[in-house]
Each structure stands twice: as structure tokens, then as C-alpha cells.
Structure 1
């Protein structure tokens, strides 16, 4: 026994330093093994003993301590400073690769390695919690381990809201009332959008399309990973509009605007006003192409299946002759050319405003029923255009009908605005008189109404949208959302209307 005790006790070396037996020494490896997908990190230790034949994971108490430290840092997160609506670019390098958001100050930084901007920010500012904006994984820096606390789920949902089919099916049926971080109530889907400079032309179109049910449902449920950047940004913006767990009761279209400005080659900008109809036409056509649609094939994409119909055009050429008295005679050609072409929008012409008015009529704004300007498509009324008399008739009506009421007339010298008010009933618009072969009423209900207003020689746009779950109408102008009575919808200058066909 004495011999065994002596052999097991440590003895000093020549320099008087006591060393532990080799069998009891362990060496902690500084190497960290990380899976390719970045899901987890495992730190391993290896025994110096010759009899050890495998690596073992770090002891469980060490893991608990790491997680506990991460939970302590989570108390520093400031949700009121977080805004994930902006372009996902590093605030230092302006790179869009591997971008993290600081959950304390809300700034974006690239990477999380020891030479990354996020790492430097964590050391310099004592900010420790970051979320990867692509993978939605949360890491604690500079230690660089992942935090999987359930208290972070609300932040992940705000970065990338996700919905199930049952969630989407309830949108138009069940009223939803939500609260933001300041306990201020808002309606998901009926929230304001930032007007960064002069981008209300885009805001009203996105708000309108976000209430076209099949369009909205498609972009809320479809997975666009690996597809067009335009599709991805439209999808995330629509999902944020309908987010019932938002931190604030409004969203910013900044991310979509930046991309639109780039791919349209500065045709549509943040800082310059544009025509909402021009943007709508460009936007739907580019979504159609991004979804793999054909330039010639009818209804070859999901977008065209919603908005595209067919129209028949009868055209007669007008010829001019001079008789012996030098009098001009206008005659129509006996030959009628008939063509059938697809359409996405119907343009409606307003009658010209009277040039002269007396004192009594000076302040009276002219009015005209919607059915009167729709008579252009009854197949009987003729219109003269570019030396031809033309008649129009719808041969195939789309599920959603988009009208463009032509108010703004531009020429080389001036820009004129026709302020004629178009009167209409938001329910049961009968399109049967304008559809070929319609023997029964074909009823459409108004979904969205984009309105125009002239303010100090500037064009200002707002939108009226229907809350189907409550059977109410709301007016949205940038960040302002207010209720509006159904009976006075037509009092504004309607510019673009979207109507839904009853099933």
C-alpha cells in the first residue's frame, strides 16, 4: 500500500515544479468543427492518454454555461430599434453577402468571423447579439456561438413572416386586430407604407395588388428561393403588409424600390414622381416574365391568368377626298378589318372639360357615370383614332378587370389634368353589355380604387381598399389609414380601378 501511494503522488522535477501524471492531463483543442450549413458547432477535447481511442464532446455543464451566457445577452436586445425593411447591405462595405443585423442597434454588418465588421462592432460597441438575415440564425459575438432561445422567434418572424394555407384562407373571412410594440392597434393588410421621397406611385399599386386575393395568396404561400430577385422582394413585402405580429404598424417599400430602380434602369425612382399606371403596366409585365411567362402565348403565367382577357377590334380606314369645289370629303372604307387581341387593362376616355363656363358653373366639377365611359367597349359605339374608325368588344373577360381612367394628358408643351368625377357603385357592376355573347348579368365588385389629387401642381395618389372580413372600406395615403364610407368613394378622382368577378 505504501508503495502504491508513493508511486501515485506527484514529485517535483529538477526546477521544483510538480507535474501531474500524463494519464490525467487533458488538452482542450482550440479547433472548432462547424457543419457546412452552419447549424451547430461542437468543441472537442482529446486525451493525451495512449489508451484513449476517441474524441469526446465538451462536458454538459460547459454547454449549459454557454447557453446561460447567451440568454443573459438577450436582455440587451432593443426591438424598438429594429427595422428589417431596408436593403440588406452591410453598413460599412455595402456588400449583400452574408449580412447580419445587430439586434441591439439595428445596423447591418457583414460576416461574423474575427476579421468581420460584425465582430469589430461587437467588440467596439459591446453589442453581442446578431441575426443572419438569410438563415435567421442568431449568434452571440465575439464568442460566435448560436443562441436557440425561443424568445427570439418573434424577431425571426418579423424578418421573414411565413403563413400557412389555413392562415391565408382566413384573411378575407375572419377580422384580425393586432398590436404593435407600443400597444397601438392596427389591421394586418391595411397598414401605411413609407413615402421615402416621391414613391406614392408605387405604394398605391402594391397596396392594390395586395388585396387581389389570388395574387396576394400566391405571393404569400409560394417559395421563391433561388428564383428572380423581383419575385422574392415582392413576396416579402406583401407578407410584411399582412404580418399580424409586426413591431410597428407600417412598412417601408425601400428594398423593393431599390431593386425596381435598378432593373428599370432608373425609369422608376425613389426621388421622382411617376405615373402609377405606367408602373403597374411595367410591374405586371416584369412579374409575368419572371414567372416564366411567354411574350406571345395567351395566359402563360399566373399574373396573366388573373388580369388578361381578350378583345375584338373592328377597324375601318377613313379616307379624304377633294371634290371640284375644293371641299374635303371624309369617307370610311367599306372593308372592315377584324382582329382579336389580349389585354391586361381597359383604358377609359373622359369627355373633355368645357372650355368656357359662366359664373354659376365655374365651381361645379363635371360628373359622368362609369357606364358612360365603358360604352366604348359595347361593340357599337365608334371612335376615331389615327385615321381609323374603331369599335371594341370584350370576347373573354378576365377574373379581375383593371380600368385606367385617362386623366393626365401630356404633350410636348403642357400637361393637362381632367378633374371630371366618375360616379359608380362599388357593388355589382354589370359588364354583360360589353362582353360578347353574355346573355346573363356578369357582375364585378370593386376591390381597389387608386385616386388622384393635384396639390400645388404636384400629383398625389392614394388608394381605397376593401376589408372583406368587416365589409368596410379604408383609405390609405402613405402612412395615413382611415375609414371611408362606401357611398362617397366616387367623390375622389378615380385613376385606376380593379374589379373582381363574382363567382
Structure 2
């Protein structure tokens, strides 16, 4: 009886052409028309470095041979027990820790480091071999792979990690944020309140933190950033949207957020005007940030209310000015004269600046400066249309003719000089509810009620080296509980509404009552 032997079928499927040769010993051998996958790899055809300038998924197997890759034969949950969620932090800039490139970046789910690519010559591949770390996630597509085998993981056990990288919300959830109290637990089972979490002060970026926290509680802006897709939009809008969604994430791994990713982009976009390592003025940053958001959302430099930002914050004020002549009465220089021409202009605004009375020069009995108090209505009288002030040889008065849904007040207490900052410590007293703006709006016949949303406060502190520096914190209202919380960097604490005014208010955000 003749001996028959069959060599293994390396064709990989019936679609390949084969030539069968039968020898005298009835031995069947398969001869390929082209080299096998193993031969191609040994010839070095697919071992070149990945195309790192492309966002395409990099693989060392060609698309024609991908059908023969043994994905189905590999268990999809291999190495998943090595994933360490406590070491993962997705708030930082998405840059490869070796090449510092932001193209095609993967995060190691074992140690949390970022690497570029996943092909056989990539940094992620070398990391998987050298450190025995095998599970990686693409930070853009959110696909999870096991290296060095380079197969995709389909397990749903990693969905919580994908959600932390890019939190998403539906309309129903967003609509309930201000009505339904939410309290979550982090990985250490420590409770935190979504929307009211601390932000890292990496160096001197507290000026940045208080503004981002305040804007994240302007409901229309917050809902817009949570629900809209900004794919293809400006990087500033995308990063701000992700940061706001992380602030309100009820499934976070830790009860605080780092603004590093957005702050890095702001630093580059502002040409180093706003940095991590140097403290800036919160109002200067707010002014710059809102105007750049307006432009990033397609807003016009000339047309009013041409973006979502201006629809929320922009109003219009009328200014009347008159030259102060030499024969004006010295005792009544601020009185408008009927026989002198009055110039009227209408100007759009996104902020209303409020002037404080001069700080007193006298001291009390114990040798300390007397800190005066002034009501918010008193400093708002600047916009009643009759109160006059002198500025650069002109007498001026103002009246609001269009009022926006959200008002931003800038209380001018810091005056910058060449040598140092002069600070007016006058306390502005106010009630956080039911501010009536009708006395300052032209043609208003009924009350126009506003409620306080956020209050940015200023404090002067002395460092151990004896230097004075600014410290900023923000007080915000939790509408779902009707409570007030105060946040300074990572510290979150409750505060009574009756003592809000005792701090040196610097920037306030007010919401028009519907």
C-alpha cells in the first residue's frame, strides 16, 4: 500500500490560487503562487516604522493578509487583569512621552504613560515588550489593543475607562443637572459632587481655575458644550468642551480634575500671555477667553450677537459724553450743560465694570486701615443714566439699552502700576437673590430680576518669604440643593449665603430669572 502524506495548508483560505504536485509516493504538497505572511515578515516588507504623520491605525499586516490574522483564535480578555485604573490620568496633554508627538497616541492602561503608534517599530510596541505591559487604548478612537500581538479588545469591562477619557451626556441627563441632586464615589469610595469638584493648581493657575469653574455653571453654555459635537471645530472649543464634561462627570475615577490640557493650548494660543507658572488677572483671562471662544465658534468681529457666546453675555449700553470747558463751575464740574453739545454712542458690552470709591487714608484706633463697605446698588448707579463721572476731561453717563440673559460684573479693585498692584479692599455688600436691574435699563417698566450664579473673590496673602501675592477662589450655587459652595483649587467646602459678601468680590456672574 502506497504511503500518502499531506503538508500543512498555509494558503490561509480558498481564495488563493494553488498548484498541487503529486509525487511518486503520493505525497501532496501545496506550492504558493506568492510567499506566505511569515516569509514577507522575514523579508522585512512590513517592519518599517509606522507612518506617524497619519491618524490611520498602524498595523504590520497588510490589508490583503488581514483576513488570515489569527484574531478570532486569541482570547479577547487576555491581560485585562493587569489594567490599573488608579494609575490612569487622562487630563494631561495627549503627547507621546518619548517623541512628544500628538499624532496617533496610545495610553498604556497598566502604567498610564502615553506612547505613539502600535506597530512593530513604535514606542508603544517597545514599551509592551520591555515592561511587559500589554493593554493600550487609542486616545482618539478609544479602541483598545493588546500588544505586541496587536489585536483589538472587544470586552465591555473597559467601557468605564473609555467614558472617563471622553464623557458623553444625553439631553435628559443634562436637563436634570440643576434639578436632581447627584453625589458620586471615586475609586477610593470618597464622595464628590459632580460639577463642584476641585481643579489642580499646577503652579500659579488659580486665576484660570476660577474662570473655568464659573463658566461651567452658566447653564446654556454648559449644556451647549455637553451636547454639541465639535469635531472639526477649533481646538480651543474642543478642549473646553471636554474639560466641562469632566467637571460634571458622575463616573470619574477621582474627585478632582486637572486643567492641564486646556491650559497648555491657551498658553500657546495667547502667545505665552497666560501661563501655568505665572499668575495672571482673572478678568484679563476671562476677557481674552470669551472673545476667542466667540471667534472659534464662527463669530464675527463686527456683527453683534453672531455667536453663541454673544447670545448669552452680550448687551448694549449708551454712553453720553460732554467736554468739560474751562469756564465750568469748579464746584459742579459733573453737571451736564444744556448749551454744550452731547455726544451719544451705543456700544456692545460683554462685561459691566463697576468702580469702587477711593480707599480711605485714615486708620482706626488699633492702627489698622478702615475697610469701608458699599452696596452693589450704589456701584451699579453708574448705569442709571443720570450719575455722572469725569474721565479724561469729559463728563460721562451711561444707560443700559439692551440687557443679556447673563450679566458679568467686573468690580475694579486692582489697579496695575509699574512698581506694584494697588488694591482697593472695599467690601461690596449684596444679596445673592433678586437683584433688580430695571433702574439701569432704558424703558424698563417692570422688575428685571437676576440671581447670582458665581462669585469670584480676591484675597491678598503673604508668602513665607514675606512677599504679597493674590489668591482667588470662586463661590457657586448648587441649584439642585439650593446651597452655596466655595472652591479654591482642590478645596471644596460649603459656605453660608449670608456671608458671601464678606469676601472681596472681583467678578460676578448673574442669571436672569425666567
Q: Shared fold (TM-score greater than 0.5)?
A: yes
In 1, the alpha carbon distance for the partners of 2:356 and 2:512 equals 24
Alignment of 1:49-88 (within 5 A): 63-66=71-74, 68=75, 70-88=76-94
Q: Distance in 1 between matches of 2:264 and 2:67?
A: 50
- Contact 1:320–1:329 (8 Å) recurs in 2: no
476, 481, 493: which one aligns with 2:504: 493
Change (3 A) 1:479 1:19: farther
Deviation at 1:296, TM superposition (A): 1.1
Q: Identify the residue that residue 296 of structure 1 maps to in structure 2.
A: 302
Q: How far off its partner does 1:357 sit?
A: 2.5
1:41, distance to aligned residue in structure 2 (A): 11
For the pair 1:390 / 2:396, whether they are aligned, the reply is yes
Cα distance in 1 for partners of 2:216, 2:164 equals 18
Give the Cα–Cα distance (whole angstroms) in 2 for the partners of residues 259 and 178 of structure 1.
Answer: 30
* Deviation (angstroms), 1:416: 1.1
Equivalent residues of 1:43, 1:57 under 8 A apart? no
> Shift in Å at residue 177 of structure 1?
0.8
TM-score of the pair, normalised by structure 1: 0.89
Q: Which residue of 2 aligns with 1:422?
A: 428
The one-character-per-residue Cα deviations of 1:221-255 (angstroms, maximum 9, x if unpaired) are: 11111111101110110011011110000010001
Q: Which sections of structure 1, spanning at least 5 residues, go unmatched?
A: 1-5, 13-17, 47-54
Q: Does 1:285 align with 2:291?
A: yes
- Aligned partner of residue 224 in structure 1, secondary structure: coil
Is the counterpart of residue 214 in structure 1 residue 216 in structure 2? no
Paired position in structure 1 for 2:28: 21
1:257 partnered with 2:263: yes
Match of residue 323 from structure 2: 317
Shift of 1:366: 1.2
2:331 and 2:387 map into 1 onto residues whose CA distance is 24
Secondary structure at the residue paired with 1:320?
coil
Q: Which residue of 1 aligns with 2:487?
A: 476
Residues 298 and 322 of structure 1, relative CA distance in 2, 3 Å threshold: closer
- C-alpha deviation, 1:21, in angstroms: 1.9
CA RMSD between the two structures: 2.9
How far the C-alpha of 1:411 sits from its partner, in A, is: 2.2
Whole-Å Cα distance in 1 between the matches of residues 472 and 377 of structure 2? Answer: 24
1:52 corresponds to: none
Match in the other structure for 2:4: 9
Gapped regions of structure 2 (runs ≥ 5): 8-24, 47-54, 463-467
Give the C-alpha shift of residue 413 in structure 1.
3.5
Q: How many residues align?
A: 476
Q: Which of 111, 118, 121 matches 1:112?
A: 118
**Residues of 2 paired with 1:121 and 1:358: CA distance?**
67
> How far 1:43 sits from its partner (Å)?
9.5
> Structure 2 length as normaliser, TM-score?
0.87
User: What's the counterpart of residue 234 of structure 1?
Assistant: 240
Residues in 2 aligned to 1:423 and 1:383: alpha-carbon distance in whole angstroms: 22
Q: Distance in 2 between matches of 1:44 and 1:317?
A: 78
Cα distance 1:363–1:316, how it changes in 2: closer, same or farther (>3 A)?
closer
Separation of aligned partners in 2, 1:339 and 1:165: 42
Shift, 1:319, TM fit: 1.9
* Pair 1:198-2:198 in alignment: no
